[in-house]
């Protein structure tokens, strides 16, 4: 399946940094505190979130910028081999040089791995992927920037100052942390540095985050600095790939 270089930029979210301050009344002292991917808590099935993404792609002195929309949803719960599982679906939408584009990825993962402290990517039972103009294909667990979405605990975790983050849920005092992860796909190696702010009122826990991808492969290299924030959320999500289970 085609994987245009700018499409990979949809895999990161923005962190909002601010000086440390006292936690006001109504703040979320129980918010998730580990740096991981986009899963800090598992909401009821049918929950969905949408992020606005801004990114910069750099390869040598050249740089390109753009925006994308990333939607993440729980689109079905099933029992597989006696184990409770969820279908988790991602959709990236963008307009590249006047052309509307989309990428969909739907993965079946045991519920016990859909929480902080676990690595959902390592426990995908099966999945499907599609982009405009192509047929639906089986998904590969590690491909492109997708592993960053469902990363396990990152290395060298450090706490960031608490800050008030304003999203579609209103202003919330969020906990922040930073860390990094590496993964390989063939001869390509990706190091991802992450800064994430979380709050339990966000359906999957993430309010804002930033992911910086440093990608190398046989002498070539590029960097994607991807920034976004939660702009909408709700319930009643349904899959875009109903015939693929």
Distance in Å from the first CA to the final CA of the chain = 20
| Within a domain: 241 | no
Model confidence band, residue 151 (pLDDT cutoffs 50, 70, 90): confident
| Within a domain: 239 | no
Model confidence band, residue 11 (pLDDT cutoffs 50, 70, 90): very low
Examine the pLDDT at 165 and tell me if it is beyond 90.
yes
In this prediction, residue 159 carries a pLDDT of 92
Examine the pLDDT at 68 and tell me if it is beyond 90.
yes
Coil/strand/helix, residue 10: helix
Mean pLDDT of 183-188: 84
Question: If you average pLDDT over each of 29-38, 50-59, 112-121, 183-192, which comes out highest?
Answer: 50-59
**Domain boundaries, position 201:** 7-234
Its pTM stands at 0.83
| Within a domain: 245 | no
Examine the pLDDT at 143 and tell me if it is beyond 80.
no
Q: 204: how many CB neighbours lie within 10 A of its CB?
A: 24
In this prediction, residue 187 carries a pLDDT of 87
Question: If you average pLDDT over each of 68-77, 113-122, 141-150, which comes out highest?
Answer: 68-77
Among the listed ranges 7-21, 104-118, 133-147, 167-181, which one has the minimum average pLDDT value? Answer: 7-21
Examine the pLDDT at 62 and tell me if it is beyond 60.
yes
| Within a domain: 53 | yes
Mean pLDDT of 37-41: 80
| Within a domain: 136 | yes
Among the listed ranges 10-14, 111-115, 140-144, which one has the minimum average pLDDT value? Answer: 10-14
Residue 169: CA count within 13 A, CB half-sphere? 23
| Within a domain: 202 | yes
Examine the pLDDT at 2 and tell me if it is beyond 70.
no
| Within a domain: 214 | yes
158: exposed, middle or buried (C-beta count within 10 Å: 0-12, 13-18, 19+)?
exposed
Among the listed ranges 65-69, 112-116, 149-153, 182-186, which one has the minimum average pLDDT value? Answer: 149-153
Whole-angstrom Cα distance, residue 115 to residue 205? 10
The residue ranking higher by pLDDT, 114 or 37, is 114
Cβ 235 vs Cβ 219: under 8 Å: no
Number of structural domains (the chain) is: 1
| Within a domain: 230 | yes
């Amino acid at each position: 399946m085609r994987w245009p270089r700018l499409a990979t930029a949809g895999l990161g979210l923005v962190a909002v940094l601010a000086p440390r301050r006292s936690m006001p009344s109504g703040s979320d002292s129980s918010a998730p505190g580990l740096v991981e991917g986009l899963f800090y808590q598992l909401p009821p099935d049918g929950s969905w979130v949408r992020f606005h993404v801004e990114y910069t792609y750099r390869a040598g002195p050249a740089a390109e910028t753009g925006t994308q929309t990333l939607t993440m949803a729980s689109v079905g719960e099933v029992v597989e081999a006696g184990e409770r599982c969820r279908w988790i679906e991602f959709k990236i939408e963008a307009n590249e040089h006047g052309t509307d584009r989309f990428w969909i990825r739907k993965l079946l993962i045991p519920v016990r791995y859909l929480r902080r402290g676990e690595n959902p990517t390592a426990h995908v039972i099966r999945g499907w992927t599609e982009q405009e103009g192509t047929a639906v294909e089986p998904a590969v667990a590690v491909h492109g920037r997708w592993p960053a979405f469902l990363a396990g605990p990152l290395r060298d975790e450090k706490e960031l100052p608490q800050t008030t983050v304003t999203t579609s849920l209103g202003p919330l005092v969020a906990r922040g942390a930073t860390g990094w992860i590496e993964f390989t796909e063939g001869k390509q190696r990706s190091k991802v540095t992450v800064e994430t702010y979380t709050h339990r009122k966000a359906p999957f826990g993430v309010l804002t985050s930033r992911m910086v991808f440093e990608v190398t492969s046989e002498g070539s290299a590029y960097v994607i600095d991807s920034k976004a924030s939660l702009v909408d959320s709700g319930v009643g999500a349904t899959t875009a790939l109903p015939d693929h289970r």
